[in-house]
Amino acid sequence: MATLSKPVPMKPKANSIKKTIIFIIVISLIIWAFDGVNYNGLMPSAAGTIVGMWNGILHPDVSYLTDWSIDGLPYAIVETIAIAISGTFVSGVLAIPFALLASQNIVGKRVSKVGKFIITMIRTFPELILALIFIGIVGPGAPAGILALGVHSIGMLGKLFSESIESMDIGVKEALESCGGNSAEVLFRAVIPQVLPEFLSYTLFRFEINMRAAATLGLVGAGGIGAPLIFAIKARDWERTGIIVIVLIITVTIIDIISSKIRKKLV
Amino acid sequence: MNPELVARLPKKPKRIKFYSTLALVVAIIVSAAVFSGFSILDIINNLRFATRLLKSMFFPPAWDYADNVIKPLLQTIQMAIAGSFIGAILAFPAALLAANNFIKIKWLNTTVRLFLNFFRTIPALVLAALFVSIFGIGSFAGVVALTIFSFGLISKMTYESIEAIDYGQVEAIISLGGNKLNIFRYAILPQVLPQYMSYTLYAFEVNVRAAAVLGYVGAGGVGQTYQIWLDLRRFDRVGIIIIISFVAVLIIDLISSAIRRRLV
């Protein structure tokens, strides 16, 4: 760059010690992390596996795609979508009371902190473990997956819902109250119309995430495409793995595109 | 009201579109629930199994087994750190290539974006299962899976941030005769760096949670221990693993999100 006519002001030095300490901590954490990862080299069969995978992607098992029975790919992928839809719906409904409980302008500061902590706790609990617990309750199959997604998604939706309730324009509510509106009218004419587009948009966003999650829940037996996928990988049937992965990528991409189009219209 | 006045009022918009959309959405949800065999009655009927299972897991959990959980749990955290670190390093150049306001070559931006999208559609668990068949059972396959997963996540969020920077600074540098490198160093980096670091931390949080279950397909960490005891139906040990990893993840989440709030 061209030389500046004025001298550049000195950088502030006050934070440099703090910065060095943080830097050292971060670097040592990273070194510690890499130290713990044990690389045992490739499997002796790795080269064959990679060639097999590549061939599987190039020559996928098309007969599996056109198998319209209950063991075929179409059924599994539709089941996966059905799990994602139902799970998202369950969580969309369940998240509303949690969100209200976590919103400062509804329940006050103290209660909202408790509500927020509950939501964080739900978010932290992995859905795969939830799926395993629900399999113990309703048996293996799609309902366990739906319940797992339904409960786990409260963690994200509850947080986002409560943020949009908290940023709501309170003037509309006050205007209705000053005209003598009762609490039901306030709820249906002031609160819901304001937050509904955002709620729907967040729910759709969560649906996109749940679509990916539903594809893995089958690994533990909670229905959907995951079970045939893990069987194909374990059996090293790369033609079948190939077709499942290809169909999964296409389905997820299409759903992403549709859902983000709708979301753009909503908000 | 006076009928003449009513006639002069603007008509309510027809809500056919609204109602047909609503009907479609309801139909989709109901058919999804029916297709997957979801029924509230079944769940209520099976609630006694829930209490029995929860009792065998958590009342009481196998506290004496707690010591054995710490080591795989630390390995899980190590996997998450390593994965998000490498993923973040790879993500920055990819984000620069994908952002349409730094390198203005449209086909290149689009290709890189498609490529990133492709990575984000494959769930981490599936990646891990694939890498286990290449690298064998152990934490390395998990780290590779987490690396790819965080790469997809961080690069997408970062390129969106790069596109949202204040372009005036770039123009100022160009008007002073600065080149691409100057633009990168003095306009993009200072504006994007805090967000990039925040995304990396976010990816780390997601990775900790993902790493905790990767072991289920043999990719190391606490998930592997978990799966062993689940298969042996030792629910008390499963319970203690869940409790300890849950507390660890919660603490990491709280620390990391506190740091993130300071960064941005």
Q: Which of A37, A133, A137 sits opposite B78 (nearest CB)?
A: A37
Close Cβ partners of A214 (under 8 Å, ≥ 6 residues apart): A80, A81, A83, A84, A87, A145, A149, A224, A225, A226
What integer pLDDT is reported at residue A14 of this predicted model? 59
**Are residues B71 and B42 part of one domain?**
no
**Are residues B64 and B28 part of one domain?**
no
User: Is A7's pLDDT higher than 80?
Assistant: no
What is the C-alpha separation between B41 and B61, in angstroms, rounded?
A: 30
Contact A120 B254 (CB under 8 A): yes
What CATH number should be reported for the domain holding residue B154? 1.10.3720.10
A3 within some domain: no
Give the CA distances from residue A65 to residues A72, A213, A221, A254, in Å, rounded to whole numbers and listed in that order.
7, 21, 21, 17
A37 within some domain: no
B86 within some domain: yes
A2 at interface of B, judged by CB pairs closer than 8 A: yes
B95 within some domain: yes
**Are residues B147 and B230 part of one domain?**
yes
Q: Which of B43, B53, B117 sits opposite A136 (nearest CB)?
A: B53
What integer pLDDT is reported at residue A2 of this predicted model? 54
B88 within some domain: yes
Question: Per-residue pLDDT averaged across A102-128, rounded?
Answer: 87
**Are residues B65 and B14 part of one domain?**
no
**Dihedral sign, Cα of residue B155, residue B160, residue B166, residue B168:** positive
Contact A2 B176 (CB under 8 A): yes
What is the C-alpha separation between A134 and A150, in angstroms, rounded?
A: 11
End-to-end Cα, chain B, rounded Å: 57
Question: Per-residue pLDDT averaged across B177-198, rounded?
Answer: 88
A15 within some domain: no
B37 within some domain: yes
On average, the pLDDT of chain A sits at: 85
User: Is B66's pLDDT higher than 90?
Assistant: no
A74 at interface of B, judged by CB pairs closer than 8 A: no
Contact A147 B43 (CB under 8 A): yes
Estimate to the nearest angstrom the gap between the alpha carbon of A205 and the chain centroid.
8
Taking only Cα atoms into account, the Rg of chain B, rounded to an integer number of angstroms, comes to 26
Close Cβ partners of A95 (under 8 Å, ≥ 6 residues apart): A153, A154, A157, A158, A161
Contact A143 B46 (CB under 8 A): no
A129 within some domain: yes
**Are residues B21 and B79 part of one domain?**
no
**Min CA distance, A96 vs chain B (Å)?**
18
Chain B interface mutation, best of A29, A38, A125, A138, highest count of B Cβ atoms under 10 Å: A138
**Are residues B67 and B43 part of one domain?**
no
A17 within some domain: no
User: Chain B window 206-235: which residues touch A at a Cβ cutoff of 8 Å?
Assistant: 209, 212-213, 216-217, 226, 230
User: Is A5's pLDDT higher than 70?
Assistant: no
Q: Which of A29, A129, A143 sits opposite B42 (nearest CB)?
A: A143
Provide the residue range defining the domain that includes B145.
60-263
**Are residues B210 and B186 part of one domain?**
yes
What is the C-alpha separation between B167 and B191, in angstroms, rounded?
A: 10
A126 at interface of B, judged by CB pairs closer than 8 A: yes
A34 at interface of B, judged by CB pairs closer than 8 A: yes
B55 within some domain: no
**Are residues B69 and B25 part of one domain?**
no
Contact A249 B121 (CB under 8 A): yes
Buried b (16+ CB within 10 A) or exposed e, B58-94: eeebbeebeeebeebbbbbbbbbbbbbbbbbebbbeb
**Min CA distance, B228 vs chain A (Å)?**
13
Question: Per-residue pLDDT averaged across B43-69, rounded?
Answer: 79
Residue of A nearest to B136 (CA): A43
What is the C-alpha separation between B155 and B201, in angstroms, rounded?
A: 13
What integer pLDDT is reported at residue A10 of this predicted model? 67
CB-based contact B82:B145 (threshold 8 Å):
no
Contacting residues of B for A126, CB less than 8 Å apart = 209, 212-213
What is the C-alpha separation between B237 and B215, in angstroms, rounded?
A: 16
B54 within some domain: no
**Are residues B14 and B80 part of one domain?**
no
Provide the residue range defining the domain that includes A202.
53-266
* Joined tokens for residue A83: 């799990």
Confidence of residue B37 (pLDDT cuts 50, 70, 90): confident
Residue for token pair 């408790």 = A114
Write the single-letter amino acid at B242: I
Count of other CB atoms within 10 angstroms of residue B101? 15
Count of other CB atoms within 10 angstroms of residue A82? 26
Question: Per-residue pLDDT averaged across B141-165, rounded?
Answer: 91
pTM of the full predicted structure?
A: 0.82
**Min CA distance, B8 vs chain A (Å)?**
25
CB pairs under 8 A between A and B: 169
Q: Which of A49, A126, A253 sits opposite B133 (nearest CB)?
A: A49
pLDDT digits (tens, 9 = 90+) for B81-132: 999 999 999 999 999 999 888 888 889 999 998 888 888 888 888 888 888 8
Contacting residues of A for B28, CB less than 8 Å apart = 85
What integer pLDDT is reported at residue B87 of this predicted model? 94
3-state secondary structure labels for all residues of B194-247: HHHHHHHHHHHHHHHHHHHHHHHHCCCCHHHHHHHHHHCCCHHHHHHHHHHHHH
What integer pLDDT is reported at residue A6 of this predicted model? 67
Residue of B nearest to A213 (CA): B123
A25 within some domain: no
In this structure, chain B runs to a length of 264
A10 within some domain: no
**Are residues B144 and B78 part of one domain?**
yes
Minimum mean pLDDT among A9-23, A201-215, B205-219: which range? A9-23
Contact B35 A79 (CB under 8 A): yes
Contact A137 B50 (CB under 8 A): yes
User: Is A252's pLDDT higher than 70?
Assistant: yes
B147 at interface of A, judged by CB pairs closer than 8 A: no
Percent share of chain B, pLDDT over 70? 97
**Are residues B40 and B115 part of one domain?**
no
- Please state the domain count of chain A: 1
What is the C-alpha separation between A156 and A206, in angstroms, rounded?
A: 8
**Are residues B34 and B70 part of one domain?**
no
DSSP state of A267: -
**Min CA distance, A171 vs chain B (Å)?**
25
What CATH number should be reported for the domain holding residue A154? 1.10.3720.10
Contact B85 A30 (CB under 8 A): yes
